[in-house]
Amino acid sequence: MLQINTIAPDFELYDQNGQLHKLSDYRGHKVVIFFYPKDSTPGCTRQACAYTANIDRFKAIDVIVLGISRDTVKTHLNFATKNDLKYPILADTEIKVINNYEAWQKKTMYGKTAYGTTRTTYIIDEEGKIIYAKEKVSPDNDVLEVLEFLNG
């Protein structure tokens, strides 16, 4: 996991609508970046929908929300449309950003070991520094924990 008080790695990724997003474009705003394993799975859907349910709370405190997984732009569009997501979800099909943020790790499920995206959340401050980092977050508690941190 990346360390708090270090500069967040910049990136360029496309969202569900084919729009390019660069982290550096959001300087001057706090940014929540949550990495999740896969579109349309139960935990990921709950987590993504919780961010949408609270998007006005993030906007009220001038915080940008970005979700990232290794799914494609097309899959993201289906996922975002089906769940009426109100923020960009970014496609990292080459797993570069996921790796740079140390969210690609060895996982064991049902006795099998494989690499995959760990559910990891970062908050980046207005200058591009990491101020919050948590891995293996709960899809049901992530949003509330992030909001609690942001609201101090």
Name the superfamily (CATH) of residues 12-18+27-150.
Answer: Glutaredoxin (3.40.30.10)
Euclidean distance between CA atoms 101 and 3, whole angstroms: 10
Is residue 44 annotated as part of the catalytic site, yes or no? yes
pLDDT at 102 over 80: yes
Task: State the average pLDDT over residues 63-67.
Answer: 98
The percentage of the chain sitting over the pLDDT mark of 90, rounded to a whole number, equals 92
pLDDT at 108 over 90: no
User: Taking all residues of the chain, what is their mean pLDDT, rounded to a whole number?
Assistant: 96
Residue 109 banded pLDDT, cuts 50, 70, 90: confident
Euclidean distance between CA atoms 46 and 105, whole angstroms: 22
Euclidean distance between CA atoms 146 and 66, whole angstroms: 13
pLDDT for 114 equals 87
Q: Which residue has the tokens 């990495």?
A: 35
Over residues 29-39, the pLDDT tens digits come to 999 999 999 99
Q: How far is residue 134 from each of residues 3, 102, 110, measured CA to CA in Å?
A: 10, 11, 24
Catalytic residue from among 44, 68, 124, 143:
44
pLDDT at 141 over 90: yes
- Alpha-helix residue ranges (DSSP H) falling in the chain: 42-53, 55-60, 73-83, 96-100, 142-150
pLDDT at 81 over 80: yes
